[in-house]
Amino acid sequence: MADRLAIMHDGRIVTTGTPTDIAADYPSTISFGLPDGMSHRDLPVIAGCQVAQPGPKVVLHTDQLQASLSELLSWATSGGATLVH
């Protein structure tokens, strides 16, 4: 177990820090397609989640992956929306 990490790309160190610090710099990505007739404006506001790419294929960035996914899926289930890949 390490207290600090160094991540290399092409032979160069690109970032260093604690695992928590590094993870905080790189949010998780959630991507999905919306059913016909829906737009990203129909999505719920999810705390800590940002729409990175609106459109028929939505890309969200979040620092709280499990909480964001749970809220998104709960919204889809309660509204009868099927999210597609």
**Overall domain count for the chain:** 1
What value, to the nearest 5°, has the Cα angle with vertex 36 and ends 33 and 42?
70
Question: Which pLDDT belongs to residue 15?
Answer: 92
Q: How sure is the predictor about 23, in pLDDT bands with cuts at 50, 70 and 90?
A: confident
> Which structural domain range is residue 48 located in?
5-79
Q: What is the pLDDT of residue 55?
A: 74
**Neighbouring residues of 20: CB distance < 8 A, sequence distance ≥ 6:** none
Q: Is residue 38 part of a domain?
A: yes
Q: Mean pLDDT, to the nearest integer, of 17-32?
A: 87
pLDDT at 11 over 90: yes
Does residue 10 sit within a domain?
Answer: yes
Distance of CA 64 to the CA centre of its chain: 8
| More reliable by pLDDT, 54 or 20 | 20
Residue 15 lies in a domain: yes
- 85 part of a folded domain: no
- The arithmetic mean of pLDDT across residues 21-32, rounded, is 87
84 found inside a domain: no
pLDDT, tens only, 27-77: 899 999 888 888 888 888 999 898 888 777 899 999 899 999 999 999 999
